[in-house]
Amino acid sequence: MIRILAFVAALLCVVPAVAQPLPANLDKANAIVIDTTKGRIVIKLRPDLAPQHAERIKQLARDGYYNNVPFHRVIEGFMAQTGDGKNFNGTGGSKYPNLPAEFSNVPYKRGIVGMARTSDPNSANSQFFIMFTDGSSLNGKYTVIGEVVSGMDVVDKLKRGEPVADPDKMVKVQVASDIK
């Protein structure tokens, strides 16, 4: 019964987000729309910087891998991490192989989205993070895959923790061009 109520509550949060228009001039083929328990986040992917990583994010979104996945690690003044659709706690990855690093000169600042990985630079798989603020210590060490173009106010509302108790979730993640 509690799960049903939680699901209904999550749907009620998503309904207003679904009605929101996407930002003007958005390349819908290279953007993902994340409807969360707090609202909608739109991320412009950067295939010009990280083509393999951008394709992976789109593939996992199309697979439904990210649906109902928690923001398992949300650190005040740093970043919000999600994308573990296997174990839901930051220890899992997808069925696809890890990706080789695609580092760039784009600095980590508020709204930048990067791929999470282990100490091995070539271990990014499915998890990603959104920066709350500047993180110059990450520059050139983590693959930048995009930037939030709408919904940083939603990111700011995510419950904090490491791990997060009763975390907010990505209820539905879609490639923008697939939204009907």
pLDDT in tens, 104-137: 999 999 999 999 999 999 999 999 999 999 999 9
- Quickly tell me which residue has 């990505």 as its tokens: 170
Q: 0.85 cut: is pTM over it?
A: yes
**Distance (Å, whole) CA 131 – CA 71:** 13
Using pLDDT thresholds of 50, 70 and 90, give the confidence band for residue 17: very low
Check whether 32 has a pLDDT greater than 50: yes
Instruction: Domains for the chain: give ranges and CATH numbers.
Output: 2-178 (2.40.100.10)
Which residues are CB-contacts of 12 (< 8 A; sequence separation ≥ 6)?
none
User: How many helices (H) and strands (E) would you count in the chain?
Assistant: 3, 9
Amino acid at 8: V
pLDDT in tens, 53-94: 999 999 999 999 999 999 999 999 999 999 999 999 999 999
Using pLDDT thresholds of 50, 70 and 90, give the confidence band for residue 2: low
- Quickly tell me which residue has 């909608």 as its tokens: 40
Supply the pLDDT for residue 19: 56
Supply the pLDDT for residue 24: 86
Supply the pLDDT for residue 144: 98
